Chain A
Amino acid sequence: VSSRRLREAFYREYQTFFERAERTRRWNLFTDIPWERLPAEPAGPVGADLALCAETFCGVEMYLPDYVAEHLALFRGDVGRAWFAAAWGYEESKHSLALREYLVRSGHRTESQMFDFGEAVLSRRWQAPFADARQMTIYGALQELTTFVIYRKQRELSESLGDPVLPTVYRLIARDEMAHARFYRRMIELHLDEDAEGTLQDLAEVLYRFRMPAEDLLADYDSRIAVMRTAGIDRGVFYREVVTPTLSAFNLTRHDLPLPRPRPVAPVSATSS
């Protein structure tokens, strides 16, 4: 449980986050995306690959009910972070809607296909990878920045391929992801101020065991990854564009982190030959 001093600081940070969001970052799904530029017929195979990527990200974003429920349960007694979870949920809800709208309005998918897709997605349940609030805050910082990097690459790819709408969609939703990553970073800074040793240990626990959400939940995820590889992130990109900047924000490198606590080693059963 966070101290009162920390909870008060979280709330002040949330006020700043929310004010900036209201003043500078709100966008409208129906009027800020140039839907009218979409051609009457969907593009060829290149467009099909972009659509598959968009559908995959839409699927990951569609675990929103689980993301929000898990975060609100974890942060319920903490006004700043509980309200952030609610505001975050609103902003994230537009991400899957924008991608879904693109898929339907571009003709790559029908309404019926997207409805089936959504029901298939929600037939499985996402669970938070960490039970501790501070660890989930660190996880949030890494996950939001990773998502930002992925969307930025998709924006660049769709721009280079001449898609008339996707670059705008990815620009808007990537901007939200970066704002979320910055909020989580501020939370981590406050944790470091209050308990440096414990927060460094949690940074190691989360950083070394990080996985993107829902990667084991979506059907056909491996084949989707194969298509996304051209604009995905590999080990080098993840390290350079997610890990290093996150640690640098706290004047840290990976060498400042302790080793994570050992995993329990399963006994190896003896086999007779």
Chain B
Amino acid sequence: MNPVSVQSGRDEHSVLAVFQEAARQVDGSGRLAVTRETQISELGLDSVAVMELVAHVEQQLQIRIPDEQLTSASSIGHLVDVVERLLP
């Protein structure tokens, strides 16, 4: 994936879409549906896979999510909010 420019909520490349694409890559089955409400525990991704998900998002958006946010987030929406705050 090449890095993309994302302006939160203002174009088709929303932050959520970046998470959805990352989830597809991490899941491998191509069947993983991700929404803001999705709980991380519901994804079938264990705690380590969430690190991989976030690594994909960080590379795609050229940002760094603080470790404490990585470990405390309970839902995709929570992670999306964190990323939106980090974007310029």
Contact = CB atoms under 8 A, between A and B. Distances in A.
B57 to A, nearest CB: 11
A106 B29 CA distance: 47
A208 B64 contact: no
Interface residue SS majority, chain B:
helix
Contact of B51 (A211, A239, A263, A267): A239
Interface in A196-248: 204, 207-211, 234-236, 238-240, 243-244
Nearest to B64: A255
Contacts of A268: 30-31
Nearest to B68: A236
A238 B46 CA distance: 11
Contact of B56 (A255, A257, A259, A267): A259
Q: Which of B48, B50, B58, B70 has the most CB of A within 10 A?
A: B48
Contacts of B24: 265
B12 interface: no
Nearest to A208: B52
B67 A266 contact: no
A207 B47 CA distance: 11
A259 B59 CA distance: 8
Nearest to A263: B28
A235 B52 contact: no
Given A255-B64, A257-B55, A259-B55, A238 B48 contact: yes
A264 interface: yes
State which size class the interface on A falls in: 20 to 34
A234 B74 CA distance: 12
A98 to B, nearest CB: 28
Contacts of A260: 52
A265 B47 contact: no
Q: Which of B50, B58, B67 has the most CB of A within 10 A?
A: B67
Nearest to A206: B48
Given A207-B51, A208-B55, A254-B51, A267 B70 contact: no
Contact of A209 (B49, B70, B71): B49
Contacts of B55: 204, 208, 254, 257, 259
A45 interface: no
Interface of B: 24-31, 46-52, 55-56, 58-59, 64, 67, 70-72
Given A238-B47, A262-B25, 14 more contacts: A207-B51, A208-B48, A208-B49, A208-B52, A208-B55, A209-B52, A211-B48, A238-B48, A239-B51, A239-B67, A259-B59, A264-B28, A266-B30, A268-B31
